[in-house]
Amino acid sequence: MMSLFGTKKFALVVVLLGFFGTLWASAPGPYADMILPTPAHWSGCSLQVIKIKIADSTDAVDTSTIHVRIAGIDYYWGDSALSWVNDSILIIVPDSAFGNGDTILVELVTADDTSGFHLQGAPRQWNFYVDLDVPFFDPDSRYPPPGTTVCSGVGSIAVVVMDTTSGIPYDGLCMCFNSYWFTCPTNRSSGFCWQPMTNPVPTYADSVFFMRWGYLDSMGYLAAEDSIEVCLRKAVDRVGVGISSPESVCGPHWFDTTDSRQCWSFVKDCAGPLAFLVFPGNG
């Protein structure tokens, strides 16, 4: 049976363990995550605003200890490029513009809490990529060529579309056509879009965006004799893919929708000549 003295000693140990356990719980210091841009994603802004969430489970963050490095440039608390909102969000507006194709390394070097505990895992590091280019198409690649007359052996309706930096994502391409039996919808994100998981017909391979002629014929979209207008409706890059607000990273970039060459026309003529007896009259 434990004595009263032994019970007091046991209670003292429990209290001390509780105290040091509480002290240990607050010891790790602030933790941090970059929330804009999404790490390892693309930005289309030359002066991309960067947001880092810095929080602590028990204490406030001592903003005077903040030191961040963006693409090798150091910023300290008090610099005009830094601001603090909602008691947990560090906002950085870089002084120098980023270049196309750059990989931007973001480093949170120091950030202590008000008890003096240091940033967990310091320095914390993330990166993101910069794409300032826009997708484009090659007018000379339009097929069948504008103004031609075709029937058999065409193979596809096609055009070369490229983005040289971030690339073109699924659902980033749409084409459409106006024919005797089919009319393009007005929404540029509709028509025949590259969505390989749900619609394997529009295809994008080796920078060529195309639809098989046989599919259009089999669906009855084209008459035997038809004047066909094809339009590239949509071509966007990967900027903003995977985030809920693409505009916060200046994305996505669209191709030049004012280029009149995005639409072209050709004639399908598969009926052949027709003959009628004109003279002498029948009978």
DSSP 99: P
- Between 3.40.250.10, 1.10.20.10, 1.10.1030.10, 2.60.40.1220, what CATH number should domain 29-130 receive? 2.60.40.1220
State yes or no: pLDDT of 117 exceeds 70.
Answer: yes
In degrees, rounded to 5, the angle at the alpha carbon of residue 173 between the alpha carbons of residues 175 and 177 is 5
Of 7-16, 75-84, 153-162, where does the model show the most confidence?
Answer: 75-84
Quickly list DSSP for 202-255. SEEETTEEEEEHHHHHHTT-S-SEEEEEEEEEEEB-STTTTSS-GGGGT-PPBP
∠ Cα 191 172 181 (to 5°): 10
DSSP state letter for 25: H
Q: Write down the mean pLDDT value for the chain.
A: 89
Does the pTM surpass 0.95? The reply is no
- Closest C-alpha among 250, 73, 95, 245 to residue 166: 250
Distances from the Cα of 134 to the Cαs of 100, 188, 212, 264, in angstroms? 11, 17, 27, 21
Average pLDDT rounded to a whole number, residues 202-221: 93
- The answer to whether the beta carbons of residues 66 and 77 sit under 8 Å apart is yes
CB distance 93 to 46 below 8 Å? no
Distances (CA, A) of 27 to 16, 21, 62, 209, 244: 16, 10, 15, 57, 35
110-128 average pLDDT score:
97
Alpha-carbon span 201 to 215, nearest angstrom: 8
Confidence of residue 272 (pLDDT cuts 50, 70, 90): low
Strand partners, 136: 162
- Residue 98 in tokens: 């980023």
pLDDT for the residue 265: 98
Query: In this predicted structure, what is the pLDDT of residue 256?
Result: 98
- Phi, psi for 181 (deg, rounded to 5): -105, 0
Q: What is the pLDDT of residues 194-203, one digit of tens each?
A: 999 888 899 9
82: buried, middle or exposed (CB in 10 Å: 19+, 13-18, 0-12)?
middle
pLDDT on residue 141: 98
Which residues are paired to 138 by β-bridges?
Answer: 160
Query: What are the domain boundaries of the chain?
Result: 29-130, 136-269
Give the residue carrying structure tokens 């507006």.
Answer: 93
pLDDT score recorded for residue 27: 56
Residue (of 77, 132, 134) closest to 100 by Cα position: 132
| pLDDT (0 to 100) of residue 12 | 39
Q: Which of 84-93, 141-150, 193-202, 248-257 has the lowest mean pLDDT?
A: 193-202
Q: What percent of the chain is modeled with pLDDT above 70?
A: 86
For residue 224, name the pLDDT band (cuts at 50, 70, 90): confident
pLDDT of residue 55: 97
Least trusted range by pLDDT, from 16-25, 67-76, 158-167, 263-272: 16-25
Distance CA 63, CA 60 (A): 9
194: tokens are 């590259």
The number of helix segments (H) and strand segments (E) in the chain equals: 2, 18
